[in-house]
Amino acid sequence: MMQLAMPAEPLLNVDNLVVEYGLGNKTVHAVSGVSLQVARGETLGLVGESGCGKSTLGRAVLQLRRAKSGRVLFDGEDLTAMEGEALRKMRRRVQLIFQDPIASLNPRRRIGDIVAEPLIIAGVKDAAERKRRVHEVLSAVGLDPDIVAGRLPHEFSGGQCQRICIARSLVLNPEFIVCDEPVSALDVSIRAQILNLLEEMKARFGLTLLFIAHDLAVVKAVSDRVAVMYLGRLCEVGPSEQLFARPAHPYT
């Protein structure tokens, strides 16, 4: 496996992470000792076939699924050792965008309330401040807040729903976002728009991204480096051009 020189302190440092699921008396070894680093401002692509453990890894990084062993250092602090208030505070700095934008929006809630929800959970009590933030992020993702805030999710297309999800993920001003197959469920014709939007948001808000996909072309287009995952393990990490020019693993 190739290792690249990384800055002394990457924003994200995943060290020998192991995640398992118990299914009755059977154990699913979803992530088996994965180590990776993501530098501040970098996009690391994570690619691999369906079921190889990409989503599990992404969720374990954000502590939405707790690891069996290993560490997740974010900005030098070990998230796997955090609980309660410390973890809640840290969670404001890291966000997740899902594959299915329509399913990840509550169908009975208005867009303005959906996008404001992270602010409420984070304890932002000033309604005017919440409204200002919601307007800011809806505008940033290319939606007119005055038109969309009062509407319900079913009034929007898949691409527009993903814009709304991206707005929601930005509302707390995060530093790091796990994008878990953010365009896989979308029409091919609008994928490029959403990828461009993510790039634009990354530059504008100084984000660092872990970009998960099973589609190599998508990952290559947006990533500085790519990690290839296979059956719960990383088998290759390298800069996108190099990796795709001389693949060392049959999956690529």
Nearer to ligand ADP, 205 or 230 (CB): 230
CA–CA dist 228, 29 (Å, integer): 17
> What does the radius of gyration of the chain's CA atoms come to, in whole angstroms?
18
- Cα–Cα dist 124/129, whole Å: 8
* 24 or 84: CB nearest ligand ADP: 24
Q: Shortest gap between Cβ of 55 and Mg ion (angstroms)? A: 3
How many CB atoms are located within 10 Å of the residue 167 CB?
26
Residue 3 touches which of Mg ion, ligand ADP, none (CB < 5 to 8 A by kind)? none
| Residue whose CB is less far from ligand ADP, 42 or 180 | 180
Measured distance between the N- and C-terminal CA atoms of the chain, rounded to whole angstroms: 14
Q: Which residue has its beta carbon closest to Mg ion?
A: 55
- When binding is defined by CB under 5 A, the residue of 13, 37, 43, 55 that contacts Mg ion is 55
217 binds, among ligand ADP, Mg ion, none (CB under 5 to 8 A by kind): none
Q: Contact positions toward ligand ADP, by CB under 6 A?
A: 21, 23, 28, 30, 48, 50-56
Q: Which residues contact 105 (CB under 8 A, 6 or more apart)?
A: 114, 153, 161, 164, 165
56 binds Mg ion (CB under 5 A): no
The entry of Mg ion, ligand ADP, none near residue 30 (CB within 5 to 8 angstroms by kind) is ligand ADP
What 3-state class would DSSP assign to 188? helix
Residues paired with residue 233 on neighbouring β-strands, in sequence order: 230
Give the residues lining the site for Mg ion (CB under 5 A): 55
